[in-house]
Structure 1
Amino acid sequence: MSTTFTPPPSFSIPTSRLHISYLEPNNPTHSAFVHHLWNTDDFIQAEGPTGLDTPEKAAKFIATRVQSDYNRNKHGQMLVSLKPYPDASLAESKMIGMVSLMKGEPPNAYTQPDVGYTILPEESGKGYATEAGIGLIEYARRELGVEGVFGFCRVDAARSRRVLEKIGLEFRGERNLRVFGGARSAVYALPGMGGDLTVYGIDD
């Protein structure tokens, strides 16, 4: 029987400009933000419609899908908040996006997670996705025992590829990834990860 992972609401992973924190299943502010973020034109253009077209659906998504990732891995989809000044607390900061480390659900899961990110359109282009990705990966490696991290994106997604490279991942070629229904993807990995990606469950 799995236990529910419930970090304190004040928990955050601080970076120089940001706070990275867990989504709270019963926090209406969080579900309203996820609904807003995932229905921006930029997000829908990149990811397609998600079906989270009301805050109530977003709340259910957090309570089920997001929480199950937390219970299983202690990481998953996380909030990104912008500090108004360097020493600002999480409560004083403004939600501007999300960053994630996802492994998928067995049996369609890789043995190491992949990093993802989305930032509100009005805050994009300022390096926040890169900073959040680095901050979450460093925390996961230091505190959660994560040894490797992948990055996946569409082959033609030049902006996403630049962010993955700035985070510090290396290009490992293109593959048809089963977790994305066989879609052709650019594959990135942390330096030091094995050259044979099949050992991580990555295959064509």
Structure 2
Amino acid sequence: MKTSIETERLILRELLLSDVDGMFEMDSNPNVHRFVGKKPLTHIDESLDQIKKIQEQYKKNGIGRWAVILKETNEFIGWSGIKLISNEINNHQNFYEIGYRFIEKHWGKGYATEAGKAFITYAFNEMKVEALYAYADEGNENSRKILEKLGLRYINSFEYEEELEVWYELKNPNIY
């Protein structure tokens, strides 16, 4: 597994325990959690636990969400990346999902799209996955626009954890 990926403005790398302050800033913001469970974190130890769980995913699955670092300032601005989902969602199981989450002051600057493109290239060319999937709250127009910019296409709507979600897919062009 690669240890980092660089884009024009970003460094994408595995999450470190030292990212805890940025993770907590992001995940304690109710606006960030508006479309992801509406449960902002209330204590920094919760962020530390999340990082440790993601680090376990690296060991177990060889992949997981990575920190997104702004090259210009070396600042943690969020996470993005590929995650192996082993539980069943929308009749899919053991699939690779692309996702992202950013600190609010970094929204609308194209970072999710820039990081997402790099992870799609990595997933298809290095990991050789057959397809990437993503799902979002049906009302999360901004996330849906990002998924569409990344080339994922809408497949269907479904209910998950008592919320209406939308399902997206992108097949590996090197295989299909």
What secondary structure, in the 3-state scheme, does the structure 1 residue paired with 2:85 have? coil
Task: Tell me the residue number matched to 1:75.
Answer: 63
AA in 2 matched with 1:73: N
- Distance in 2 of aligned mates of 1:54 and 1:34: 11
Higher strand share: 2
Whether contact under 8 Å (1:20, 1:136) holds in the other structure is no
Whether contact under 8 Å (1:168, 1:190) holds in the other structure is yes
| Structure 2 unaligned regions, length at least 5 | none
15, 27, 31: which is aligned to 1:38?
A: 27
Whether contact under 8 Å (2:35, 2:137) holds in the other structure is no
Q: Deviations over 1:102-126 (max 9, x none)?
A: 2234577723211111122111111
Deviates more, 1:13-22 or 1:100-109: 100-109
CA 1:57–1:192: 2 relative to 1, 3 Å: closer
Whether contact under 8 Å (1:80, 1:99) holds in the other structure is yes
Whether contact under 8 Å (1:170, 1:191) holds in the other structure is no
Q: Quick check: which has more Rg, 1 or 2?
A: 1
Task: Tell me the residue number matched to 1:151.
Answer: 134
AA in 2 matched with 1:36: E
Task: Tell me the residue number matched to 1:87.
Answer: none
> In the comparison of the two structures, how many residue pairs are matched?
170
Identity of aligned residues (%): 25
- The structural deviation recorded for 1:19 is 0.9
> Map of 1:187-198 to 2, 5 A cutoff?
187-191=167-171
51, 64, 77: which is aligned to 1:96?
A: 77
- The structural deviation recorded for 1:146 is 2.0
- Distance in 2 of aligned mates of 1:46 and 1:156: 8
Task: Tell me the residue number matched to 1:167.
Answer: 150
| Structure 1 unaligned regions, length at least 5 | 85-91, 194-204
What secondary structure, in the 3-state scheme, does the structure 2 residue paired with 1:44 have? coil
Whether contact under 8 Å (2:130, 2:171) holds in the other structure is no
What secondary structure, in the 3-state scheme, does the structure 1 residue paired with 2:99 have? strand
Task: Tell me the residue number matched to 2:101.
Answer: 118
Task: Tell me the residue number matched to 2:125.
Answer: 142
Does residue 59 (structure 1) correspond to residue 48 (structure 2)? The answer is: yes
Whether contact under 8 Å (2:132, 2:171) holds in the other structure is no
- Distance in 2 of aligned mates of 1:107 and 1:45: 23
AA in 2 matched with 1:82: L
Does residue 23 (structure 1) correspond to residue 4 (structure 2)? The answer is: no
Task: Tell me the residue number matched to 2:110.
Answer: 127
- The structural deviation recorded for 1:169 is 0.4
- The structural deviation recorded for 1:191 is 4.0
What secondary structure, in the 3-state scheme, does the structure 1 residue paired with 2:47 have? helix
Q: What is the CA RMSD across the aligned residues, in angstroms? A: 2.3
- Distance in 2 of aligned mates of 1:102 and 1:72: 11
TM-score by length of structure 1 reads: 0.74
